[in-house]
Amino acid sequence: MQFWQDKRVLVTGGKGFLGSYVVARLKELGCGNIFVPESKNYDLVNMEAVKRVYKDSKPSFVIHLAARVGGIGANRADPSGFFYDNLMMGTQLMEEGRKLGVEKFVVLGTICSYPKFAPLPFKEKDLWNGYPEETNAPYGLAKKIHLVQAMAYRQQYGFNAIFLLPVNLYGPGDNFDSETSHVIPAVIKKCFDAIKEKRDEIIAWGTGEPTREFLYVKDCAEAILLATEKYNKPDPVNIGAGFEISIKDLVGMIAAETGFKGKILWDASKPDGQPRRMLDTSKARAEFGFIADTPLKEGLKKTVEWYKNTYL
């Protein structure tokens, strides 16, 4: 806890899903100087807003979590927006932080940066061995450019920037908007909507055959702060739970947890996305001692309970 007591920390995206957990954990660790910019006051795509956020926060550490994110449908609908907004936020924040002599800059990447057919489990060394899955490529590549920037700035300026690669997150407080949500919140909402409307079926995207890995959001927040405290190397680090589950099995688990007993129909005209996803998490364990604590079944139960208490 002593590590955080004298730190001034700028957490972009600190009011978002993951960011709110990071801020809460920082407070638990005794950090008393946390600056959380709201997007309505600081449009970090704009350089003038970036300069203003540094002037107002005067941070020693920056944890850059702000991002434009969404599921396959949202990425397909606006690939240019996902590329440009994410690229500009991170690039400008890091450049201005470098100029101002920020002590440490933490960048959150994405599993979408990995090649479409990377061998499982995804190892950090495989990050450049192919093009990302097409529906997420603009977003994934925009984020991966920040790894190049971080490594270049470390080489040229000695700037301490680290790059973390989390898997898909889920948990209480997730985005349940039907247009932009990821698979877990989307299916939870579909199940409860069907129960409420007395429908005996739901429609899920794709074939259900792809596999994914999911990390409970509170575990991810812990990993980010462990890395911020202990990791100071140029190489990217995977942040995950180290398992894979098929979308078909996942949807079945969610249906059971919500109490939906109807049919699950698969719309194969919708894209599956990347065929398989699972991270090798050995580096995070070795470098800063992170091991995910929350089993998927337990995390789903907590997420479903939160949704019921919040929306129903």
Catalytic residues, which ones? 139
From first CA to last CA, the distance across the chain in angstroms is: 38
Structure tokens at 83: 């590329």
In this structure, the chain runs to a length of 312
Q: Tokens in use for 110?
A: 């994405």
CB-neighbour burial class of residue 107 (10 A; exposed 0-12, middle 13-18, buried 19+): buried
Segment (H or E) for 104: strand 104-108
Of the candidates 229, 183, 304, the residue with the CA atom closest to the CA atom of residue 3: 229
Burial of 268 (0-12, 13-18, 19+ CB in 10 A): exposed
- The sign of the torsion formed by the CA atoms of 110, 171, 15, 193 equals positive
CB 213 within 8 A of CB 278: yes
Bridge partners of 115, per DSSP, are 132
Q: Which residues of 15-49 are buried (b: 16+ CB within 10 A; e: fewer)?
A: ebbbbbbbbebbeeeebebbbbbeeeebbbbeeeb
Nearest alpha carbon to residue 233 among 147, 285, 166, 162: 162
Dihedral of alpha carbons 148, 150, 153, 158, sign? negative
